[in-house]
Structure 1
Amino acid sequence: MCSARFARTGSITLTIISTASPPRRAVMCRFGVPVLAFCAATAGVTWLSAQASGPGSGQGNAPARIRGFSAASSAAETAREREMKAAPSPKLAEADFDVMTAEPHHTGSPYEIKLADYVADAFKSFGLDATKYEYSVLLPWPGQRRIDIVAPDPIKLQVEEEKIRGDQWADKPGILPAYNAYSPSGDVTGEIVYVNFGIPADYETLQKLGIEVKGKIVLARYGGSWRGIKPKVASEHGAIACIIYSDPHEDGYFQGEVYPDGPFRGWGMIQRGSVMDMPRYPGDPSTPGRPSKPGVERLPMDKIETFAPIPVQPLSYRDGVELLKRLKGPVAPEAWRGALPITYHIGPGPAKVHMSLRMDYGQRRLINVVGRMAGSVAPDEWIIVGSHRDAWTFGASDSVSGHVSMMAVARAMSDMMKKGWRPRRSVLFVSWDGEEQGLLGSTEWVEDLTEELKAKAAVYVNRDAGAGGLNFSSSAVHSLSPFVHELAQSIQPEGQSKTLYDLWLERSREQAPARDGQPPLKTPAVGALGSGSDYTAFLDHVGIPSIDMGLNDRGGDGSYHSTYDNPTWFKKYVDPQFKYSVLAAQVTGVALLRLADAEVLPFDYEAYGGQILEYIAEIELQASHASPDGSKSVDFAGMKAAAEAFAKAGASLRSTGETLLGGGSAPGQMNTAGAMARINRALIMAERDLIEPAGLPDRPWYRHVIYAPGLYTGYGVKTIPGVREAVDSGNYTRAAEQAKIVIRALERAAKTLQPGS
């Protein structure tokens, strides 16, 4: 459920989108939360300069002058984009897909290691310089997992996924059992308390009802937040274990026919997933801030902060209903009721269970593969695109569908190079390992190459799951929001009379209908980046502008993280003709061409500054309502002034770039090429200035002052997190300190955006 309101300020249009629950990251579904197109409960906002407004239509052609290109270079770029759109082949996409989904390939498994060789060989065949980066990461392996109901009547729950008729994939050897990675081992017995989604607001409801979970085992349903929040909050309230089940209301029969008769989750399908405390830090839990290589100091097990605090086990709704129907106590509030054919009670008890888990921890081999295409003009400006290769089981949707689209782009660019084209900037294609357990591969690589990335990385483009429909969604740093809109305007899916932008806008208007005489939504929202996929280390740790994009449709997440995210399910219900894989490659390919070849990088810091101003206004309003006296200690006026100066500097730099692209003279004695190089350097480095070296309070790995995942929203973003979370907790002394840090960061960035001053 969304709401929208509108305002105008000069040449800037403001669209405010708020959502009732935190999102997952674009396209890669997390914890049963629907496709991300919007920001978290912190209210995402998209500011657009007037230059970026206006929906595309027709053939999806590029505008007369593409953002960042001169008129002459725009014509050449349009021709290259036409070639890129025609290049991806459904047959080649399916061939890559069939290889990559042939066996289970979780991190450290034999087939995942073989796939690293497959991708490296493919990159080499495309003419790329292929390199493997290997790390040794701490991973849990599931041993015994048992849950027995001991009262009111004894019954042993199945815990494992059922084998579904007509699907031979469940018989394949090497499938990981259903478990939650980074759960501790444990052997506990206790009464069950149903806690709905298990988020902080649900415990407030329990408190009002006079129900405690201390000494109990909580039963939470997937959804409402990232799964790792559920055991974290449960432990803080004294629970001794956490069980997470899939309710058919979120992705089962309440949504439609279940597999094998439809795409949705069946009675015996289980969602695996990590419960690492990633809002504290992602990557190898034993080496925060350091790459997991031989000789690197590792934390002892009892010093690691990101393990779940209590044992956690996922269940199907076949097992979940056995627990729920044995609960008494108050009837659950209406919002807590799922779609099982029972009356939902909260408990505690009389259902009582014995839960026994054993996790075996050890070092496992992780392999990232990087294919490098050298730039012709600015080889030390890197455009990086990445997709993860690993999966919980077969990974048909998550994330082989995204990975094959990335490979299609690499293949297409290789063919263009054979015809004489070379990208202006270097393009790096990266096949990540270890994403599912906690962004391991991307985090270790960024920690390994931090200094080089600081110097060279211009943009990171993320391709996770999401080649399964026409529903385009994106989150990005907001300097790239106008770029994303124009990208969507340039793509017209085969068989459609409208562009991706048109379809996106229509869907956004349906989700946020105009009310009280307001005009309809003008532009679809580009979300703010929280966490949950491989952009996290790039943006939040180093300050590299990032984009996450995907294409999904209803039902595309019905097998999420189960054995049935496999070729049979995918080819029957998601992308039978691989046309969406082709579409995803077209979107990614055009984005990379524009970023790699733009004479002036297509960043809009005026839009970014306007967005930051809106975030400041949100926090100020919250603080003034919560504590009028406390809010006075926070320098909101100073933050606004710094954001306005940041936006003004961005507008001035963009104007200078536009003058050069239009054929105008460079300032001073500098030639046009030199002036453009200076502008591009400023555009790249301004994002680095938004990094606070000391990091955020209580979690120094996260260092970006504008974006971070919330400590209690998981993947959902907290914008201006240092100030906002301090206000959330009523700590106005900390909020005032963090406001000063934000002001200094914005002032640094504004100065960087004035390279001639």
Structure 2
Amino acid sequence: MEDFEELVAAIGREKVTGTVALIRYGKTFRGDKVRNAEKFGVAAVLLYSDPADYAPEGTDASHVYPQAEWLPATGAQRGTVYTGKGDPATPGWPSHPGGERLSDEETAKRLPRIPVLPVSYSVAAGIMAHMGGAAVAEGVSDVTTIRNVIGVLPGSHQANRYIILGNHRDAWVFGAADPNSGTTCLLEVARAFGHMAARGWSPRRSIVFASWDAEEYGSWVNGVGEDNAPVLATKAIAYINVDVAVGGGGFHASATPQLDDLIRDVSSQVANPDGPAGQSLLEGWAAEHNVSEPELGRLGGGGSDYAAFLQHLGIAAADTHFGGSYPMYQSVVYDNYHWMATFADPLFKRHVAVAKMMAGVAARLAGDHRLPFNYSAYAAHLGRDVARLQSDLASQGAPPSLSVDPLLVSVSRLLAAAQSIDTEAQHITASSSSSRCTRGRACPMEGASGEGANCGSSKAMDGVNERLFLAERGFLDGHGIGPHYTWFKHLFVICRHHATPCKI
């Protein structure tokens, strides 16, 4: 927005209106760039990837794909420019054949009203000297059926409580990294759990495997957040997301804070694909950042399928992957198997590590007697955020009336509640350990790890677990986080709309 304001101030709005804007990818969501261009009367937008970001070693043939991992001059990044969520013709309700839909005119108001085209940086470099060419074809609008594919491994104790593992399978072109690296991991985890189930194993709680459609168009988990909201809000324990599982080196994990300890614990049991023999993923992760205990990131950008679960429904969520922003992101043809096998993961060991992380986290969430949620860690994290806010206010000379005291009180209450429920769970566990169940494998209290428990304590621990997984819903505001962001309801996962950075 600031760039357009400066441009108007420099040359006048009349010289901006009706122009074609050549806009660089970066910093903000591409859809926001287009929306801002519309506000200033721009007639069309061309989006390009800056070689400074996508080919930092140089643009000559020896420094770009296929000789290197970076984006070549002919690569153009695709992606949705829709700034909403779900089907734009059914905002806030399920999209079904024959169901109520907005008129074409009303739907059009929710979409960009100017043409938008991604171009390569070679085109961007010479475009001002080569204006013209054939007339632009008329835009095409159509309604298409999307298909989410769902598989369920029923739980033996609480079949109506769900651990959901999800990945979108639609890609702009080949999608070796986005999303097929994640699809590969999801399918392998499903295969492994299916093999275990065939040999007689079953989780305590149901595990759901979900292959989502139409994520790249902005319809994140379309039909799930709306059609199944009542079920998910009361029965979904956690959502484990995988999108770009592998886009290069460097392990990254993000989660809601009550899952931090679980993620670290599972990573200590997975081999580091890029480290020496015997080194765990946790050890390599910590060494990469030169810390004793690595910090997890937070899910808040809204750019993947976790958004509907966490930001809209308040369901605990996690995501693990290798590589940050990779240079072939949504490029025309170069996000392919050759690029993946040559540069991103030649031996596919990183894929194996992500699959093991997903499987380990899912097995714990679906099988542990007590859900491995740590709300004391959640309270500690929020306490640090409030302390930073307090320091920022003081450094900026904020008036005394602007106080963080109510936040400090709330965090203190959360910590006290977390410690109380931890104590309650410990008492139940101690009771069950002193009087182990003798009913054998048929007992519903036998966990995925083979642990026994007193059947009489089953309902007591179930009650604890209900409070643990429903606690995340307490961070939701039914009215949304702002007048223009009613879909985003999570008060502690706050992001500028569609921007990647987030605060919790």
TM-score past 0.5 threshold: yes
* Equivalent position of 2:491 in the other structure: 705
**How far apart in 1 are the matches of 2:432 and 2:193?**
32
**How far apart in 2 are the matches of 1:553 and 1:228?**
21
* Equivalent position of 2:166 in the other structure: 386
Are the counterparts in 2 of residues 606 and 647 from structure 1 also a CA contact under 8 Å?
Answer: yes
Helix, strand or coil at the partner of 1:707: coil
Output one character per residue of 1:684-739: Cα deviation in whole Å (capped at 9) or x when no partner. 1111222222223222222222224422x5343254xxxxxxxxxxxxxxxxxxxx
User: Which residue, 474, 477, 482 being the options, matches 1:692?
Assistant: 477
* Equivalent position of 2:236 in the other structure: 457
Helix, strand or coil at the partner of 1:363: coil
- Does residue 651 of structure 1 match 2:407? no
Helix, strand or coil at the partner of 1:398: coil
* Equivalent position of 2:363 in the other structure: 593
- Does residue 312 of structure 1 match 2:312? no
Helix, strand or coil at the partner of 2:200: coil
Paired AA for residue 315 in structure 1: V
User: What does residue range 38-187 of structure 1 map to in structure 2 within 5 Å?
Assistant: none
Are the counterparts in 2 of residues 369 and 431 from structure 1 also a CA contact under 8 Å?
Answer: yes
Output one character per residue of 1:310-354: Cα deviation in whole Å (capped at 9) or x when no partner. 432111011010136x5xxxxxxxxxxxxxxxxxxxxxxxx9779
Output one character per residue of 1:28-60: Cα deviation in whole Å (capped at 9) or x when no partner. xxxxxxxxxxxxxxxxxxxxxxxxxxxxxxxxx
User: Which residue, 503, 510, 523 being the options, matches 2:284?
Assistant: 503
**How far apart in 2 are the matches of 1:237 and 1:665?**
68
* Equivalent position of 1:428 in the other structure: 208
* Equivalent position of 1:285 in the other structure: 88
Structure 2 CA distance for partners of 1:206 and 1:613, relative to 1, 3 Å: farther
User: What does residue range 138-537 of structure 1 map to in structure 2 within 5 Å?
Assistant: 200=1, 202-203=3-4, 214-215=16-17, 216-252=19-55, 254=57, 257-277=63-83, 281-304=84-107, 306-323=110-127, 356=136, 358-440=138-220, 442-494=221-273, 496-497=276-277, 498-509=279-290, 522-537=293-308
- Does residue 661 of structure 1 match 2:463? no
Q: How far has the Cα of 1:387 moved from its partner? A: 0.7
Are the counterparts in 1 of residues 185 and 245 from structure 2 also a CA contact under 8 Å?
Answer: no
Are the counterparts in 2 of residues 471 and 503 from structure 1 also a CA contact under 8 Å?
Answer: no
**How far apart in 1 are the matches of 2:2 and 2:389?**
20
Task: Mark the runs of 5 or more structure 1 residues left unpaired by the alignment.
Answer: 1-199, 327-350, 510-519, 720-757
Q: How far has the Cα of 1:531 moved from its partner? A: 0.8
Q: How far has the Cα of 1:623 moved from its partner? A: 5.7
TM-score relative to the length of structure 1: 0.58
TM-score relative to the length of structure 2: 0.85
Q: How far has the Cα of 1:204 moved from its partner? A: 6.6
User: What does residue range 23-42 of structure 1 map to in structure 2 within 5 Å?
Assistant: none
Helix, strand or coil at the partner of 1:461: strand
Q: How far has the Cα of 1:505 moved from its partner? A: 2.1
Are the counterparts in 2 of residues 604 and 651 from structure 1 also a CA contact under 8 Å?
Answer: no
**How far apart in 2 are the matches of 1:203 and 1:369?**
43
Are the counterparts in 1 of residues 272 and 280 from structure 2 also a CA contact under 8 Å?
Answer: yes
**How far apart in 1 are the matches of 2:494 and 2:111?**
20
Paired AA for residue 376 in structure 2: E
Over the aligned positions, Cα root-mean-square deviation in angstroms equals: 2.9
**How far apart in 1 are the matches of 2:394 and 2:299?**
24
Structure 2 CA distance for partners of 1:572 and 1:676, relative to 1, 3 Å: same
* Equivalent position of 1:70 in the other structure: none
Paired AA for residue 689 in structure 1: G
Task: Mark the runs of 5 or more structure 2 residues left unpaired by the alignment.
Answer: 435-453
Are the counterparts in 2 of residues 394 and 565 from structure 1 also a CA contact under 8 Å?
Answer: yes
**How far apart in 2 are the matches of 1:492 and 1:663?**
35
**How far apart in 2 are the matches of 1:306 and 1:624?**
41
* Equivalent position of 2:313 in the other structure: 542
Are the counterparts in 1 of residues 272 and 284 from structure 2 also a CA contact under 8 Å?
Answer: no
Q: How far has the Cα of 1:285 moved from its partner? A: 1.1
Are the counterparts in 1 of residues 86 and 219 from structure 2 also a CA contact under 8 Å?
Answer: yes
* Equivalent position of 2:375 in the other structure: 605
**How far apart in 1 are the matches of 2:271 and 2:319?**
19
**How far apart in 2 are the matches of 1:390 and 1:380?**
29
Are the counterparts in 2 of residues 468 and 580 from structure 1 also a CA contact under 8 Å?
Answer: no
Output one character per residue of 1:93-128: Cα deviation in whole Å (capped at 9) or x when no partner. xxxxxxxxxxxxxxxxxxxxxxxxxxxxxxxxxxxx
Are the counterparts in 1 of residues 311 and 488 from structure 2 also a CA contact under 8 Å?
Answer: yes
Are the counterparts in 1 of residues 177 and 246 from structure 2 also a CA contact under 8 Å?
Answer: yes
Are the counterparts in 2 of residues 475 and 529 from structure 1 also a CA contact under 8 Å?
Answer: no
**How far apart in 2 are the matches of 1:470 and 1:259?**
17
Paired AA for residue 675 in structure 1: A
**How far apart in 2 are the matches of 1:685 and 1:708?**
20
Are the counterparts in 2 of residues 600 and 676 from structure 1 also a CA contact under 8 Å?
Answer: yes
Output one character per residue of 1:355-405: Cα deviation in whole Å (capped at 9) or x when no partner. 846321111010001010000111111000001111111211111111111
Structure with more strand by fraction: 1
